């Protein structure tokens, strides 16, 4: 089933490949390669311009503060004592980028356009048709398992090697405080509680342990159990519909990340990201005026990261609305015709 409209031109992007599961896979692996390239190249770029005489959050850095809060290259008081780990991490991302790029080229040029025709064992299991909800659940389940494993690896890293704790100004191991009752009570039931203002890294790790376990369980569930009839009726079984759902999820996570980054100084230490921010309504045409540092401390790393998440989430929301309308049958090509019909001669 082809849902894209050729009249839109270059915006179609991967929609041209939606019925070719092998080429669709190539496009997504290529996108991962681009993300790995950005992460590696930008981290190395930041290493070359890092100045130890200026606070980290005043240097317009994005990657180094994120890596430092995970315990790499950081000493007492949040001071960067060794930038070599950042260089190594950047190089590793570039190596990973080359591997992903090679995989993307293989699937784009050499691999089967349709995974169902592959001779490789188990590869055919990942062929999908958009109207086959059972296979979509199978693919979704594997995605959830990988994301869950990543969450648990983060918990393992914090408990084994340690992360930076601004409460003591040192890198320390953090054991997860896994308490589902506390998570549900404070996350949803406690009146006036703000789940983003987490004050203890043990709770953070406990939340990751909870979410990671939940995602793995959900992944196994979706692999084994076909979607319920209710889900089939609610969710549009098409490439455009699936894309709209994915963009909606990214928008929600983006808005959450923007707020979390702006106000939380435990997970995002002041030493690395700058003072917490406050939201301001602005009548100026500059996007950068919507979220500013408390006390007028300028455009810190926290400022850039929070604003980036906010506006990227906003664009994802617009994409969700666009694709959701098209998935429901709305034809945007009729909009100019409607306007022209309303315009007097």
pLDDT tens sequence across 23-44: 888 888 999 999 999 999 999 9
Asked if residue 22 is part of any domain, the answer here is: yes
Asked if residue 6 is part of any domain, the answer here is: no
pTM: 0.80
Residue 164 phi/psi, 5° resolution? -75, 130
Residues 83 and 154 in one domain: no
Q: Which of 128, 143, 175 is the last residue of a domain?
A: 128
pLDDT tens sequence across 190-215: 444 455 556 688 888 988 999 999 99
Which residue range(s) make up the domain with 60? 13-128
Residues 191 and 123 in one domain: no
Give the per-residue pLDDT at 342.
Answer: 53
Provide, rounded to the nearest whole percent, the portion of the chain with pLDDT above 90.
Answer: 43
Torsion angle (degrees, nearest 10) of CA 338, 339, 341, 345: -170
Q: Which residues contact 93 (CB under 8 A, 6 or more apart)?
A: 36, 37, 39, 40, 43
Beta carbons of 31 and 109 less than 8 angstroms apart: no
Residues 216 and 271 in one domain: no
Q: Which of 96, 128, 160 is the last residue of a domain?
A: 128
Give the per-residue pLDDT at 7.
Answer: 54
Gap between the Cα atoms of 126 and 3, Å rounded: 21
Asked if residue 321 is part of any domain, the answer here is: yes
Residues 24 and 119 in one domain: yes
Domain count, the chain: 3
Gap between the Cα atoms of 183 and 226, Å rounded: 29
Q: Which of 235, 264, 289 is the last residue of a domain?
A: 235
Residues 59 and 140 in one domain: no
pLDDT tens sequence across 249-303: 999 999 988 988 888 888 899 999 999 887 555 544 444 444 454 444 568 889 8
The structure tokens listed for 87 are 């260089």
Gap between the Cα atoms of 137 and 143, Å rounded: 10
pLDDT tens sequence across 52-107: 999 999 998 999 999 999 999 999 999 999 999 999 999 999 999 999 999 999 88
Give the per-residue pLDDT at 6.
Answer: 44
Residues 222 and 244 in one domain: no
Beta carbons of 174 and 158 less than 8 angstroms apart: yes
pLDDT tens sequence across 209-239: 999 999 999 999 999 998 888 877 777 777 7
Asked if residue 21 is part of any domain, the answer here is: yes
């Amino acid at each position: 089933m082809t849902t894209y409209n050729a009249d839109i031109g270059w915006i179609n992007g991967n929609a041209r490949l939606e019925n070719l599961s092998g080429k669709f896979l190539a496009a997504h692996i290529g996108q991962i390669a681009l993300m790995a390239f950005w992460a590696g190249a930008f981290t190395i770029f930041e290493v070359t311009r890092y100045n130890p005489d200026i606070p980290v959050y005043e240097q317009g850095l994005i990657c180094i503060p994120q890596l430092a809060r995970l315990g790499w290259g950081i000493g007492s008081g949040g001071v960067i004592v060794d930038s070599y780990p950042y260089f190594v991490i950047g190089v590793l991302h570039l190596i990973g980028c080359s591997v992903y790029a090679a995989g993307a080229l293989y699937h784009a040029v050499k691999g089967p356009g349709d995974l169902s025709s592959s001779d490789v064992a188990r590869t055919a299991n990942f062929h999908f048709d958009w109207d086959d909800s059972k296979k979509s659940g199978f693919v979704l389940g594997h995605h959830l398992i990988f994301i869950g494993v990543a969450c648990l690896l983060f918990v393992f890293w914090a408990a084994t090697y340690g992360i930076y704790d601004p409460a003591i100004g040192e890198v320390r191991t953090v054991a997860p405080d896994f308490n589902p009752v506390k998570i549900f009570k404070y996350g949803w039931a406690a009146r006036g509680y703000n789940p983003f203002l987490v004050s203890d890294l043990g709770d953070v790790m406990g939340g990751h342990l909870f979410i990671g376990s939940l995602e793995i369980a959900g992944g196994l569930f979706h692999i084994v159990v076909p979607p319920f009839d209710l889900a089939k009726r609610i969710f549009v079984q098409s490439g455009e519909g699936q894309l709209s759902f994915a963009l909606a999820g990214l928008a929600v996570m983006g808005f959450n990340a923007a707020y979390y980054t702006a106000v939380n100084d435990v997970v995002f230490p002041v030493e690395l990201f700058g003072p917490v921010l406050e939201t301001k309504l602005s009548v100026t045409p500059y996007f950068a005026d919507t979220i500013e540092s408390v006390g007028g401390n300028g455009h810190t790393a926290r400022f850039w990261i929070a604003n980036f998440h906010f506006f990227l989430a906003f664009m994802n929301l617009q994409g969700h609305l666009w694709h959701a309308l098209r998935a429901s049958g709305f034809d945007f090509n009729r909009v100019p015709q409607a306007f022209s019909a309303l315009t007097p001669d």
